[in-house]
A and B are shown apart, each in its own frame.
Chain A
Amino acid sequence: MVLALLKYGLSKQYPARHQFPKPKDLKKSYDVVIIGGGGHGLATAYYLARDWGITNVCVLDKGYLGGGNTARNTAIIRSNYLTPEGVKFYDESVRLYQDLSNDFDLNILYSERGHLTLAHTDSAIRTMRWRAEVNKHFGINSELIFVDDIRKMCPQLELSDKVRYPVLGALYHAPGSIARHDAVAWGYGAGAAQRGVEIHQRTEVLGIERTGVNGKGGRVTGVITDRGTIKAGRVIQAVAGNTSRVADMIGFKLPIRTIPLQACVSQPLKPFLDKIIVSGSLHVYISQSSRGELVMGGSTDPYSLYSTRSSLDFKEGLMMHMLELFPYLAEVKLLRQWAGMTDMTPDFAPIMGETPVENYYIDAGWGTWGFKATPVCGKRNAEMLATGRVPELLQPFTYKRFLNFTQLGEKGAASVGH
């Protein structure tokens, strides 16, 4: 058996399959430069290559592929948002996610579980009804349900009135799912690389070259990296928590604050929780992964920080509320905690599209709601970079909305802890 394995490993007939080609030197120029090799950046490269045949593309990341927030989220995929602009956008993403494993020929462990956003107050019930109606209007399967139905669907939950904030109802969103977030990055990255896109890890962008800057934005012509300067036709930045630092290179000020979002997992347990549970009032969310671990998160840190450090405060706050929903988890051990750096916007909606610099685009402001949007961002960014026009679906997310006071209020649907 051992000999056969050795023979197989050394055989020329079965060469090792490399997902990613060996890294090369940077070329002198690319048609498209994508700053940021996370989910959004890699997805953009993938759709550029696959749907538009644009392969003279490089993706630059100062760290390792998918090592930022794509590696650090709690992997929840849903489209139960509040505004029509948001709902249409996330719905397209959910639909793309459903076929992703097939597209990639890589199992991203996409699991449709059903998603419950619990309401503990009358005003929360009103918000859930509002979201349900907007969702239904766009053909999305969401509805407002009450305790009896919740109990049938999720008997694991503490639904008595013996707690400080009893559950009164919930927004039930059937398409709510989870997936293996790293695999999404690998799938997009490998798919792009196999089609000729170059991915350059450990390559930091230090500056942006522009022409015609005379007091206005000018036009981008190149990207300065720590491995040399490259000419670029079009550039997009998709760097999450580092958005302001990179945007600073083109003198572009944004309404973004970089705030850590922490998360943690428990020891693996036998499968007992099939639903994804979120509670806005209790600022917590939980799901059970394919490995049996309970993946848990809460609201963002109380102040900005360019760091992924974890804190005791986070654990204490999370557990205090989680045990209201699942008291019997009190003895379960926490295995691991971590954090990501989120680029938070004032209205909890993203910033997408054009910047003051011609041919320089932005994919940012994804805060705590970016993972679920990975496919639709990739697809629409690719369309934008290929055509030079901002797709209608992305237009509401322009940076100008903050200066025109036409913000998109998604705080109620995007996050917890308000």
Chain B
Amino acid sequence: MKIMTCPLNGPRNISEFVWGGEVKTHPPLDCTDAQWAEYAVLENNTAGVVREWWYHVPTAYWFIAERNTVTDEIVRTYPAREVFKDRVVYEAPRGAKEGA
């Protein structure tokens, strides 16, 4: 069994988790459609240590793990607040149409 150490629940069987993909920084909300598409769809798919989202299904807890995608070693796991420190407010950009 492969163990993933959940920051909330401690070491658990990795089958209790869902892999959430790379941690990406999303572009500013007034970006172009092309920039948004790139953010949504393109992947670094790095061979090496990657910072990615993981989700502990039984407790519905999202967190971040640093994992080596070549050796399958989980380097570190930590709560998302270590990376995301500020609250993000989603507001429609100026000039956006209502109900477009």
Contacts and interface: CB of A to CB of B under 8 A. Distances in A.
- A and B interact physically: yes
Give chain A's interface secondary structure class. loop
A256 interface: yes
B15 A309 contact: no
Interface centre among A305, A309, A402, A405 (most CB of B within 10 A): A305
Nearest to A402: B41
B38 A403 contact: yes
Interface stretch (B43-51, B75-83, B84-92): B43-51
Contacts of A151: none
Contacts of A243: 45
7 contacts: A254-B43, A255-B42, A257-B21, A257-B45, A258-B45, A304-B45, A307-B70
B58 to A, nearest CB: 15
Contacts of B47: 244-245, 258, 306
B18 interface: yes
Interface of A: 243-245, 253-258, 302-307, 309, 311-313, 346, 402-405
A346 B43 CA distance: 11
Contacts of B72: 305, 307, 309
B37 interface: yes
Interface of B: 1-2, 14-15, 18-19, 21, 34, 37-38, 41-47, 69-72
Of B1, B19, B41, B70, chain A has the most CB atoms within 10 Å of the CB of B41
Nearest to A256: B45
Given A303-B19, A403-B34, A403-B37, A255 B43 contact: yes
A239 to B, nearest CB: 12
Contact of B43 (A245, A256, A309): A256
Nearest to B4: A303
A127 B95 CA distance: 42
Contacts of B1: 312
B69 A255 contact: no
Contacts of A311: 2
A402 B18 CA distance: 24
Contacts of B14: 302
Contacts of A307: 70-72
B37 A253 contact: no
A244 B45 CA distance: 6
Nearest to A407: B41
A254 B42 CA distance: 5
Contact of B15 (A255, A257, A313, A346): A313
Given A302-B19, A304-B19, A306-B69, A257 B43 contact: yes
Contact of A253 (B2, B21, B43): B43
A303 B2 CA distance: 12
B60 to A, nearest CB: 17
Nearest to A401: B41
Nearest to A242: B47
Nearest to A301: B19
B43 A244 contact: yes
B41 A304 contact: no
Contact of A403 (B41, B43, B45, B46): B41
A408 to B, nearest CB: 14
A398 to B, nearest CB: 13
Contacts of B69: 258, 304-306
A258 B47 CA distance: 9
A346 to B, nearest CB: 6
A197 B13 CA distance: 50
A258 B46 CA distance: 9
A254 B45 CA distance: 9
A68 B73 CA distance: 23
